[in-house]
């Protein structure tokens, strides 16, 4: 038995202010880029110093609204800026590989919004290019860097669950069908799995590693993208992950890890700052932790940026907490689920 049955460990590196300050450039400044920039400026010493868009007007408006020094009317101009240390790619999925490769070719470190790419083949292009160039590249799976996730990581490392048996996670939202929306447009890699499902598949990967088999069922939107999906991922040890995602109804966004010796349950939503409950094998609650740091919702994106800054300053080229190979594996699982569902979509240099 470990201490996890009586109390939960403290998260490590909970304060993003402790991270070395880097200068960031943002490509494709939209809503998520706005939240990312505001989170960095509010909660850390990281600074977004440049915004780049295909529209100078849009980049200028973003810069003015979010305290960014410079605006560029092309992506090439931003990645050529010598005062930018790291580039954050905040575009739709189908541009992730193109823009990441552009930044890497310019010698910039890169943080790519989740999913890392529209499919596993694209993601491998990013990983290969970053390794060849010797620059740091990371998927912006911000959940991996939250304080609560580090608590679960320590429980896993300590063997607090015993042999893992079942992992669960759900993330569904309600989005009325609109064929012009990026969520439903095959040309923009629309669908639930790449937008929301990447969180639940990543949670399963975090706990269990890569699956030995994938079983998917669900339904398609009229445009042919996956609108709802349920996945069973099985490992060689017999453990399973039961996952669901969709665009037809909002779901609780809860996640669990269950073993013979105990289980952990998240509060809602599991993918941003919330809380954790640890239960013994007999079902009795042994410990409860609630996030005390007051970085709610997307303000929690500051943790991934702080982690990247620490890794870069340590001379790393890959995240030890969420390596590129794992992000590629998550996309391989999603590729297979989409194939089984018969979903359609366009990737960088390939058609699914």
Q: Is 306 a member of any domain? A: no
Q: Yes or no: say if 226 and 338 are a contact pair by the CB < 8 Å rule.
A: yes
Structural domains counted in the chain:
2
Q: Using the predicted structure, report yes or no on whether residue 301 has a pLDDT greater than 90.
A: yes
Question: What pLDDT is recorded for position 14?
Answer: 87
Does residue 4 register a pLDDT over 80? no
Domain boundary among 92, 114, 143: 143
Closest listed residue to residue 250, CA positions, set 196, 209, 213, 297:
196
Q: Among all chains, which residue has been given the structure tokens 């890569």?
A: 210
pLDDT at 347: 57
Q: Is the distance from CB of 249 to CB of 172 less than 8 angstroms?
A: yes
Closest Cα partner for 60 from 39, 78, 40?
Answer: 78
User: Are 134 and 169 in a shared domain?
Assistant: no
Q: How far is residue 173's CA from residue 10's CA, in Å, rounded to a whole number?
A: 32
Q: State whether residue 309 is helix, strand or coil.
A: helix
Contacts of 248 (CB under 8 A, 6+ apart): 172, 174, 175, 219, 227, 228
Quick: pLDDT tens for 316-350: 999 999 999 999 999 999 999 999 999 998 654 44
Domain boundary among 143, 166, 193: 143
Strand ranges of the sheet holding 285-290, from the earlier edge strand across to the other edge: 213-220, 226-234, 240-246, 164-172, 255-259, 262-266, 275-280, 285-290
* 166 shares a domain with 92: no
Of 72, 74, 23, 69, the residue nearest 44 (C-alpha): 23
**Residue 226, in any domain of the structure:** yes
115 and 200 share a domain? Answer: no
Average pLDDT score, the chain: 95
**DSSP-assigned letters across all residues of 115-178:** SSSSSHHHHHHHHHHHHHHT--EEEE-GGGGSHHHHHHHHHHHHTTT-SEEEEEEEEE-B----
Decide: 205 and 239 in contact? Cβ < 8 Å. no
Residues with a catalytic annotation lie at 114
d(CA 305, CA 16): 8
Look up the CATH number of the domain holding residue 176: 3.30.360.10
Q: Are residues 103 and 157 in the same domain?
A: no
pLDDT one-digit tens code per residue, 255-281: 999 999 999 999 999 999 999 999 999
CA distance 60 to 106: 22
Q: How far apart are CA 31 and CA 89, in angstroms?
A: 12
Indicate the pLDDT class of residue 1, thresholds 50, 70 and 90.
very low
Looking at the structure, tell me whether residues 129 and 238 fall in a common domain.
no
Regarding beta strands 285-290 and 275-280, do their DSSP bridges make them parallel or antiparallel, or are they unpaired?
antiparallel
Question: For 60-78, what is each residue's pLDDT tens digit?
Answer: 999 999 999 999 999 999 9
Quick count: other Cβ atoms within 10 Å of Cβ 10? Answer: 11
Residues 200 and 287 in one domain: yes
Residues 138, 218 share a domain: no
Whether residue 186 sits in one domain with residue 84: no
Residue 240 lies in a domain: yes
Tokens representing residue 274 in the block: 């919330």
Strand 240-246 versus strand 226-234 pairing type: antiparallel
Q: What is the pLDDT of residues 147-193, one digit of tens each?
A: 999 999 999 999 999 999 999 999 999 999 999 999 999 999 999 99
| Same domain (yes/no): 162, 81 | no
Show the domain range for 132. Answer: 16-143
Nearest CA to 334 out of 129, 126, 191 is that of 191
State which of 87, 108, 143 marks the end of a domain: 143
Cα 182 to chain center, whole Å?
18
The band of 2, judged by pLDDT with boundaries at 50, 70 and 90, is very low
Whether the CB-CB separation of 73 and 59 falls below 8 Å is answered with: yes
Contact criterion met (CB below 8 Å) for 215 and 204: no
Co-location of 159 and 134 in the same domain: no
**Collapsed DSSP state (helix, strand, coil) of residue 263:** strand
Q: Write the secondary structure of 35-50 as one string of H (helix), E (strand) and C (coil).
A: HHHHHHHHHCCCEEEE
CB contact at 8 A, 176 and 267: no
- The Cα 241–Cα 203 span in angstroms is 9
CATH code, 80: 3.40.50.720
Percent above pLDDT 70 for the chain? 96
């Amino acid at each position: 038995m470990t201490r996890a049955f009586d109390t939960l460990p403290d998260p490590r590196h909970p304060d993003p202010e402790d991270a070395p300050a880097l200068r960031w450039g943002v490509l494709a400044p939209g809503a998520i880029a706005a939240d990312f920039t505001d989170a960095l400026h509010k909660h850390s010493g990281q600074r977004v110093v440049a915004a780049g868009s295909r529209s100078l007007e849009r980049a200028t408006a973003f810069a003015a609204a979010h305290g960014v020094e410079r605006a560029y009317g092309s992506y090439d101009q931003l990645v050529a800026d010598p005062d930018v240390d790291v580039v954050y790619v905040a575009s739709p999925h189908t541009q992730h590989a193109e823009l990441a490769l552009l930044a890497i070719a310019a010698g910039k470190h890169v943080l790519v919004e989740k999913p890392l790419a529209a499919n596993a083949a694209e993601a491998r292009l990013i990983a290969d290019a970053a390794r060849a160039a010797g620059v740091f590249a990371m998927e912006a799976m911000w959940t991996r860097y939250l304080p609560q996730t580090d608590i679960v990581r320590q429980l896993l490392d300590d063997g607090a669950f015993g042999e893992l048996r079942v992992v669960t996670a759900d993330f569904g939202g309600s989005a009325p069908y609109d064929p012009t929306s990026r969520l439903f447009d095959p040309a923009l890699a629309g669908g639930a799995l790449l937008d929301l499902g990447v969180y639940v598949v990543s949670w399963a990967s975090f706990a269990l590693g890569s699956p030995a088999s994938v079983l998917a069922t669900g339904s398609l939107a009229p445009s042919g993208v996956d609108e709802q999906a349920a996945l069973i991922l099985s490992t060689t040890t017999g453990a399973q992950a039961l996952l669901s995602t969709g665009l037809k109804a909002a779901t609780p966004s809860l996640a669990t890890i269950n073993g013979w010796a105990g289980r952990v349950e998240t509060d809602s939503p599991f993918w941003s700052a919330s809380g954790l409950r640890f239960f013994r094998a007999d079902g009795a609650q042994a410990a409860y932790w609630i996030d005390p740091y007051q970085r709610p919702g997307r303000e929690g994106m500051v943790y991934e940026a702080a982690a990247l800054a620490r890794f870069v300053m340590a001379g790393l080229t890959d995240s030890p907490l969420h390596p590129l190979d794992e992000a590629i594996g998550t996309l391989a699982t999603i590729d297979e689920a989409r194939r089984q569902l018969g979903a359609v979509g366009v990737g960088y240099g390939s058609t699914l």
